[in-house]
Chains A and B, each alone.
Chain A
Amino acid sequence: MNDARAIAEETARASYGRLLAWLSSRSNDVAAAEDALADAFRAALETWPERGAPNSPEAWLLTAARRKLIDGSRRKNTYKDSIPALTLAAEEAEIAMRDEAPFPDERLKLLFICAHPAIDAGVRTPLMLQTVLGLDAARIASAFLVSPAAMSGRLVRAKRKIKAAAIPFEPPEPQAWGPRIGAVLEAIYAAYGAGWDEIDGSANANANLTGEAIFLARLTANLIPDQGETWGLLSLMLHAEARRDARRKDGAYMPLGEQDLALWNQAMIDEAEAALARAWKCGQVGAYQIEAAIQSAHVAARLKGHDTTVDIVLLYEKLNALAPTAGAAVGYAGALAAAGRFEDGFKVLDAMHPEQTKNYQAWWAVRAHILNKLERKNEAKIAYDRAIGLAEDEATRRFLAAKRAALGKVRS
């Protein structure tokens, strides 16, 4: 009996997104497909323990969900047009599964629709987490620091728009391919960011979405393997994730150069390196690939003892030329400082717009570090003060305070 339950739960985890992609792309209605699939899972949990799990759990669930979807359409007497499509789809699916052909994976359609330009950018990541991975609104809400009711409302609205405005489930036109993939990757990276923040803040494991983000990146890379940026993003996130446990020691912030290598996840680093190699083979350089290459160079410096400081400077130059952001500029300044080019690093920081920098903690921290090296201790102290004031977590505050204390006695 527990076996049947375990199979249902296992199928839910492994196949949720694939089943939902299949059902919603044929009904053009994500919300109705979700309801139907939820009903099908409920029915599975009721009947499988008694009668045993079916040979093909996915086919069973799909057939059950399809019936619910068609019944729902008939009852509402709306979306008549979708009934033939659904009926056909279900027959097609049943035939495919009788032949034990692999169940077609149409999750790419879901990824694209979640990141469609007509969908509010703020809800793309939550929508992806819910439809592709089956996460519930409460879990997503906790990662994005909003109330479950508010998150639920946003998700419902987005799904209504998909249906009412007839956002198509077809993949985008070739000329729109680039920006659309960019939007998908951005949404995945945002999921990763929502997970990272939690490391620094309240340790709510439930809110950590880094694993989900990596799953989505791996999925996207495998679905569109000829796009370098998909592998680049996967590599970048794996690199960052591989060092997660080493970022803190007894609650204190550990910079990369001082991290305990035994705490690095070597398997993840290997996968990150493989993904990066795969990205280069695609032959289209992009920002995620360069950011991943920077991570890779940092890791090589620690693991192999190579001096990669010059490589890192060059990579940041490329990144700033390709995708100039405040983060890339501050990273460049830091890389220049690491290569001993403090004056150059200072100039890069100075050239940034005050509006970009005044509340940017990393800018103040790197500036403080460079000023210290330039023996401008007074200014360094002021910059450390600002960085500490802008820091969002205790570990970073303590790390910066120790640096400030190490300046020694400063004339005020």
Chain B
Amino acid sequence: MKILMLAHETPEDFKIRDDKEKFDAYMGEWYAFSNQLAEDVDIVASAALEKPETATVVSVRNGERFVEDGPYPDTKEQLGGFFLIDVENIDEAAKHAAKCPAAKNGCVDVSIIANH
């Protein structure tokens, strides 16, 4: 079954991306995790995302388009990247998710892809 693994990071984790001293260690953890994941399961798609403050929100009401800068409070855990994986069941996905660097300070959601 296909599972979407969504890595939510804390504002502190996002700040490490701008921290020259900690950046390599941070990226090292992510590379180690994704390499291991690729060995264990089939990764269908994956991407790391730019920081939450680069988000834009779009909605359409009565034919009118609304575009807004993503209003992101600095206090919440935000999506930092995802993996779409093929596994036996959601518990197996949760086991892998627990090893994700984001699970340490933030959280990783595992969601089942609907079979429409």
Which one of B25-33, B38-46, B47-55, B108-116 is at the A interface? B47-55
Task: Report yes or no: A157 in contact with B56, Cβ–Cβ below 8 A.
Answer: no
Distance of A118 Cα from B54 Cα, bound (Å) = 9
Tell me if A118 and B51 are in contact (CB < 8 A): no
Q: Mark A150-191, 1 if CB is under 8 A from B, else 0.
A: 000000010011001100000000000000000000000000
B54 contacts A164, C-beta separation under 8 Å: yes
Q: Are A160 and B54 in contact (CB under 8 A)?
A: yes
B51 CB contacts on chain A under 8 angstroms = 160, 164
Tell me, in angstroms, the Cα distance from A160 to B52 when the chains sit together: 11
Residues of A within 8 A of B67 (CB): 117-118
Q: Does A119 lie at the interface of the complex (its beta carbon under 8 Å from any beta carbon of B)?
A: yes
A167 to chain B, nearest CB (A): 9
Are B50 and A165 in contact, CB atoms less than 8 angstroms apart?
A: yes
Query: Bound complex: CA of A164 vs CA of B50, how far in Å?
Result: 7
Q: Which residues of A contact B50 (CB under 8 A)?
A: 164-165
Query: Are the CB atoms of A117 and B68 closer together than 8 Å?
Result: yes
B53 close to A157 (CB less than 8 A): yes
Whole-angstrom distance between the Cβ of B32 and the nearest chain A Cβ: 22
| B69 located at the interface, meaning its Cβ lies under 8 Å from any Cβ of chain A in the complex | yes
> Which residue among B51, B53, B56, B69 has the maximum number of chain A CB atoms within 10 Å of its CB?
B69
Q: Are B54 and A161 in contact (CB under 8 A)?
A: yes
**Nearest-neighbor residue (CB-CB) of B67 within chain A:** A117
Chain B residue at minimum C-beta to C-beta distance from A117: B67
Smallest distance from the beta carbon of A96 to chain B beta carbons, Å?
Answer: 34
Query: From residue B38, how far is it (CB to closest CB) to chain A in Å?
Result: 25
Q: What B residues does A164 contact at CB under 8 A?
A: 50-51, 54
Q: Give the number of residue pairs across the A-B interface with Cβ within 8 Å.
A: 23
Interface size class of A (residues with CB under 8 A): 10 to 19
Q: Judge if A120 is at the interface, Cβ distance under 8 Å.
A: yes
Nearest-CB residue, chain A, relative to B71? A120
Which residues of chain B have C-beta atoms less than 8 A from A117's C-beta? 56, 67-68
Closest-CB distance, A180 to chain B (whole angstroms): 11
B53–A118 CB distance below 8 A: no
What residue of chain A has the Cβ atom nearest to residue B55's Cβ?
A: A165
List residues of chain A with CB within 8 A of the CB of B56.
117-118, 165
Give the distance to chain A from B72, nearest Cβ to Cβ, in Å: 10
A119 vs B67: C-alpha distance when bound (angstroms): 9
Chain A residues near B68 (CB-CB < 8 A): 117-118
Q: How far is the CA of A157 from the CA of B15 in the complex (A)?
A: 13
The minimal Cβ–Cβ distance linking A149 to chain B, given in whole angstroms, is 15
Interface centre among B51, B53, B54, B56 (most CB of A within 10 A): B54
B53→A160 contact, CB < 8 A: yes
CA distance A59 to B53 in the complex (A): 36
* In the bound complex, CA of A120 to CA of B68 (Å): 7
A6 to B50, CA, bound (A): 43
Give the distance to chain B from A126, nearest Cβ to Cβ, in Å: 14
Q: Are the C-beta atoms of B54 and A120 separated by less than 8 Å?
A: no
**Shortest Cβ distance from B33 into chain A, in angstroms?**
23
Chain A hits for B54, CB < 8 A? 160-161, 164-165
Chain B residues with CB below 8 A from A121, complex form: 69
**Within residues 104 to 134 of chain A, which ones have a CB less than 8 A from any CB in chain B?**
117-121
**Chain A's nearest CB lies how many Å from the CB of B68?**
7
Report the minimal beta-carbon distance from A249 to chain B, rounded to whole angstroms: 44
Residues of B bordering A, CB below 8 Å: 50-51, 53-54, 56, 67-69
- A–B complex contacts, Cβ < 8 Å, 23 sampled: A117-B56, A117-B67, A117-B68, A118-B56, A118-B67, A118-B68, A118-B69, A119-B69, A120-B69, A121-B69, A157-B53, A160-B51, A160-B53, A160-B54, A161-B53, A161-B54, A161-B69, A164-B50, A164-B51, A164-B54, A165-B50, A165-B54, A165-B56
